[in-house]
């Protein structure tokens, strides 16, 4: 499925496992894989193992932040700066790889920082197969294929429009998170432009 963006989303376990399984299959067929994990400190066992697989490159990191809503304004800015550096490195190197896997790249980003990320991600992923792992659903509208994973099992699959029309689990999660984004945008936006950017991410 070359040239498509896949997103593995939902609460609970299974998202990273599914994405890394795809990475192993890709490397096994002679393709090059670039992996970047954001929500852990770079010491996770699965990424340590994959770093030893021929054809797989793991971008190392030494820091980890909590979810954006647990961070102070100063910590949010620190996380944004740190993750922006990691993303810039991934974006700069992505052209040398056949598959790009980003694990929770927006977990510590506020809506404004997310908006910047999605623009960059859309640019570098054009014509390339990429996997995006996230518990946030603001990213799903630009993806070609969405897998909603619950307790390790795919419970819904399709495009954003298809899953919204179905009004199932995905629809409920998306609407719940959209309400949070609108609230955060209203509280944190210093002007109308910032509020508009926050609204666009959902």
- Residues 126-149 have pLDDT tens digits of 777 788 787 777 767 777 888 888
Question: Tokens 């193992």, residue?
Answer: 49
Q: Regarding beta strands 153-158 and 145-150, do their DSSP bridges make them parallel or antiparallel, or are they unpaired?
A: antiparallel
pLDDT at 146: 87
Q: Which residues are CB-contacts of 121 (< 8 A; sequence separation ≥ 6)? A: 91, 102, 105, 130, 132
Q: What is the pTM of this model?
A: 0.68
User: What residue ranges in 20-95 does DSSP mark as E strands?
Assistant: 33-37, 56-58
Predicted confidence band of residue 12 (pLDDT cuts 50, 70, 90): low
**What does the pLDDT look like over 61-108, one tens digit per residue?**
777 776 667 778 888 788 778 877 887 888 788 888 888 888 877 766
In 10 A of CB 196, how many CB atoms?
A: 12
Q: Which residues are CB-contacts of 114 (< 8 A; sequence separation ≥ 6)? A: 106, 136, 138, 139, 201
């Amino acid at each position: 499925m070359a040239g498509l963006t896949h997103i593995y989303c939902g609460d609970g376990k299974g998202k990273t496992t599914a994405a890394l399984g795809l990475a192993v299959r890709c490397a096994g067929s002679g393709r090059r894989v670039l992996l970047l994990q954001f929500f852990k400190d770079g010491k996770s066992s699965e990424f340590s193992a994959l770093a030893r697989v021929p054809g797989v490159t793991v971008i190392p990191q030494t820091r980890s932040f909590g979810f954006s809503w647990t961070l102070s304004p100063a910590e949010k800015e620190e996380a944004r700066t740190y993750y922006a550096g990691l993303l810039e490195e991934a974006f700069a190197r992505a052209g040398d790889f056949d598959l790009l896997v980003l694990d929770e790249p927006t977990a510590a980003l506020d809506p404004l920082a997310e908006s910047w990320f999605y623009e960059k991600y859309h640019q570098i992923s054009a014509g390339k197969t990429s996997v995006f792992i996230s518990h946030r659903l603001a990213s799903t509208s630009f993806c070609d294929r969405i897998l909603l994973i619950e307790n390790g099992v795919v419970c819904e699959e399709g495009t954003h429009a298809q899953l919204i029309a179905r009004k199932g689990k995905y629809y409920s999660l998306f609407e719940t998170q959209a309400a949070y984004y609108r609230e955060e945008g209203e509280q944190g936006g210093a002007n109308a432009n910032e509020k508009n950017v926050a609204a666009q991410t959902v």
